[in-house]
Structure 1
Amino acid sequence: MRKHIAPRDQRESDISLAQLRGDCARMAPHWVVPAAAVPAPVPPSRIHGVVVTAASARLIDAMSEYGD
């Protein structure tokens, strides 16, 4: 497989930070971020088949609440 290398008009080192920022500002409207899909909560009646050992349950039960 051959890699295609596009010819460049300017070397990367010849591009100033101001030019780069301008290019990014012009392209930003094209990069629309879709709204994040919020997953629907699952009712407890649909959660089944999870097995927790007694030792794990005791370990979690003995832990302090967050922020203590």
Structure 2
Amino acid sequence: MTNPRTVDPAPADLDGDLASLRGDCARMVPRWVAPARVLTRPVPLTLIHGVRVPKTSARLLDAMSDYGD
């Protein structure tokens, strides 16, 4: 008997390793279309007034070992 399935299902392990994530991304590539050309210009420095971070977000990032330690 042949297997009629043509697409692999999503992995059951959602906490997989980097290799499984790269495999998932590789399978999704045909579904993603990148624009042929992106027209962006630099933002003038006069429009940049700083970054404001809510206190709750700052506490969250401070509690994360990658950012707080």
TM-score with structure 1 length normalisation?
Answer: 0.31
TM-score with structure 2 length normalisation?
Answer: 0.31
* Structure number with larger C-alpha Rg: 1
